[in-house]
Structures are given as C-alpha cells and as structure tokens.
Amino acid sequence: MNERMDRETLLARVRAQMHDKRYQHTLGVAETARQLAIRFGADPEKAELAGFLHDYCKCWSIDKMHDILVRHDLPQELLQGEKELWHAFAGAIVIQTEIGVTDPEILQAVRYHTTGRVGMTLLEKVVCVADYIEPNRQYPGVEQIRDLAQKDLDTALSVALGGTIQFLIEKQKTVFPLTLMAYNDLISRRGREGGFNG
C-alpha cells in the first residue's frame, strides 16, 4: 500500500465504495483472513489488507467495471461470462490506481478471491476461504467449512469451491472454468500428496 495512506483513510475509502452490509462483510473477511494467516503461516498484515480490499468494486455499476476491464488484457470469456465475477478482476486493477497497492501477492489474492485458480498461493487460499466463512456468512454447509478451516485449509477450500460449483449447476448457471480448474487442482494434489481418504 502507498505508505502515505493510514488505516483510517484506507477504511474510509473502502467504506465509501459499498453499502453497510457489504462493509460489515469486508471487515469480517479481513479479520478472518488475518486469523487464518496466523494459523497457516501466511503474512497476517497482507491477509488483512487483502481482506479489506477484496470487494472494493463489488457495489460498482456493471458499466463502470466493464470500462475498466476492457482497457486491460483479460480473457474474453470473463467479459462474456458471469458479471458477478467482474468485481474481483476490476478490484485488483483499481486498488493499484486508487489505493496504491503494488504488492503482487495482495493483487492476486483480490483477483482470484471469487474464482480461485490453479496453483493458488497460501495468501490467495486464505482470502478465498475467509470470504466463504467470515462470521456474517450464512448458507447451508458453512459450519462444515468453518470446522475444516480450523485444521486443513486446502480441504476447506476444495469443499467450498465444490459447493459453489454444485450450487451453480443446480441453478443451471455457467461455471467459470477457473473455478473448476482450481477445484480439480486441489483434489488431485491431495490425491498425490496422500491426504485423500475417500
């Protein structure tokens, strides 16, 4: 982050981008990401900052996000696909220009917090799982993911992504390929590393 921006200014900027419920979710993700980072050996400061910034564009208009995305070299399938995913990719661009974030680890954690990807870093996993389990989240299965996240981050993430894929299929919605690839990657690594019992 730009060294001149203190925490209070940062939070005020984030607060100004979204409605109150989304801001409470944001604070929940930041705190949960910080705790997960401590538990699994990621950098807690980076995890918290990525948590504060992960939904920076979530409440922006589709047109505003589209304007940002078309000016960058992003896969066509993102622009043609589910608009719900745009905020993560637009967010990673905007927090560079508006907040001054330059750390690639934080930028990637924001970019992939919704979809995941193959070969996710520890910080990316921490932020993605935090987004699924922060205290304000309520959906069937969240307790199981919270329990898993006490001890096994990869399993928590694969169950969470698997749940999203299942949810989208049940709703007959498209599944953005990165998520399927991230899920396969986690499951096949678990198989190779001998941790898969089922």
Ligand X SMILES: Nc1ncnc2c1ncn2[C@@H]1O[C@H](COP(=O)(O)OP(=O)(O)O)[C@@H](O)[C@H]1O
Residues that bind ligand X (CB under 6 A): 82, 84-85, 114-115, 131, 164, 167-168, 174-176, 179
In the complex, which residue's CB is closest to ligand X?
179
Q: Which is nearer to ligand X, 11 or 175 (CB)?
A: 175
Q: Which is nearer to ligand X, 6 or 59 (CB)?
A: 59
Distance CA 20, CA 118 (A): 33
| Shortest Å distance, C-beta 177 to ligand X | 8
H or E segment to which residue 18 belongs:
none
Distance CA 108, CA 122 (A): 11
| Shortest Å distance, C-beta 12 to ligand X | 21
The answer for residues whose C-beta is within 8 angstroms of residue 98's C-beta and 6 or more apart is 13, 56
Q: Which is nearer to ligand X, 43 or 55 (CB)?
A: 55
Q: Which is nearer to ligand X, 97 or 138 (CB)?
A: 138
| Shortest Å distance, C-beta 58 to ligand X | 7
**Dihedral (CA of 163, 164, 167, 173) sign:** negative
| Shortest Å distance, C-beta 6 to ligand X | 26
Cα angle: 116, vertex 198, 119; to 5 degrees: 25
Burial (CB < 10 A; 0-12, 13-18, 19+), residue 101, is buried
Residue 110 phi, psi dihedral angles, 5° rounding: -70, -45
Q: Which is nearer to ligand X, 11 or 78 (CB)?
A: 78
| Shortest Å distance, C-beta 16 to ligand X | 19
